[in-house]
């Protein structure tokens, strides 16, 4: 008669599993007792700390550079007319535009001027001059058509109308300038 329980071949016998477990525990114990794992973990943690500090320092310096560049653009007195641009392009004048100056003016027009007037900052001097000329033309067109309100112009329009009573003077019974000059 055949045995009702079939024998299943075991990949690992209980003794081989036990032996494998003991070897791994022994290996772990040997590494931990010598402190190799702990030393490696400490070195790795120190390295991560140094990398994080370096990244933080680099981010701070980059942020400071960006802030300085933005402040430099805000301080600039922009060229807003074509005649002023042409006079600044002549060599020997006080306000001669170098390539760096052209780039600063382009950045000003990109930030404060008409949206989309300056898409790229150009490459060579002639390209930058053409881009600045186009940005100034678009700025002037928008300003004359009323599509663009300058911060300076906006501040000028906000003055309230001043009357004679506000000034505390004597109106002599006249309601307007027209009545005064009619008599």
Determine the structural domain holding residue 107 and report its residue range.
77-149
Residues 91 and 110 placed together within one structural domain of the fold: yes
CA 143, CA 81: separation in Å to the nearest integer?
Answer: 12
Q: Average per-residue pLDDT in the chain?
A: 76
Residues 96 and 111 placed together within one structural domain of the fold: yes
Number of H helices, E strands in the chain: 8, 0
178 part of a folded domain: no
What pLDDT sits at residue 28?
A: 61
18 part of a folded domain: no
Chain centroid, CA 159 distance in Å: 35
CA 97, CA 100: separation in Å to the nearest integer?
Answer: 8
pLDDT digits (tens, 9 = 90+) for 124-145: 888 888 888 888 888 888 888 8
pLDDT digits (tens, 9 = 90+) for 71-80: 888 888 888 8
53 part of a folded domain: yes
126 part of a folded domain: yes
Residues 144 and 91 placed together within one structural domain of the fold: yes
Residues 120 and 133 placed together within one structural domain of the fold: yes
Residues 136 and 119 placed together within one structural domain of the fold: yes
pLDDT digits (tens, 9 = 90+) for 144-183: 887 665 544 444 455 556 665 565 555 566 666 676 666 6
Residues 104 and 125 placed together within one structural domain of the fold: yes
22 part of a folded domain: no
Integer angstrom CA distances of residue 60 from 49, 66, 116, 142, 156: 17, 10, 30, 38, 39
166 part of a folded domain: no
pLDDT digits (tens, 9 = 90+) for 93-108: 777 888 888 888 888 8
What pLDDT sits at residue 155?
A: 44
Integer angstrom CA distances of residue 67 from 9, 59, 62, 73: 73, 12, 9, 10
30 part of a folded domain: no
What pLDDT sits at residue 10?
A: 54
Residues 106 and 52 placed together within one structural domain of the fold: no
34 part of a folded domain: no
Residues 144 and 111 placed together within one structural domain of the fold: yes
Count the domains in the chain.
2
């Amino acid at each position: 008669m055949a045995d009702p329980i079939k024998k299943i071949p075991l990949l690992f016998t209980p003794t081989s599993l036990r032996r494998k477990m003991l070897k791994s525990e022994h290996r772990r114990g040997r590494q931990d007792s010598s402190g190799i794992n702990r030393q490696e973990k400490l070195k790795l943690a120190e390295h991560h700390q140094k990398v994080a500090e370096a990244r933080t320092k680099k981010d701070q310096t980059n942020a400071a550079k960006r802030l300085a560049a933005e402040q430099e653009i805000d301080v600039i007195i922009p060229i807003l007319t074509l005649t002023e641009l042409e006079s600044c392009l002549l060599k020997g004048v006080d306000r001669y535009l170098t390539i760096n100056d052209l780039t600063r003016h382009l950045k000003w027009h990109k930030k404060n001027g008409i949206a989309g007037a300056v898409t790229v900052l150009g490459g060579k001097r002639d390209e930058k001059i053409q881009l600045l000329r186009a940005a100034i033309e678009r700025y002037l067109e928008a300003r004359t058509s009323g599509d663009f309100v300058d911060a300076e112009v906006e501040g000028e329009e906000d003055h309230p109308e001043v009357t004679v009573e506000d000034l505390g003077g004597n109106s002599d019974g006249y309601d307007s300038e027209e009545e005064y000059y009619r008599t």
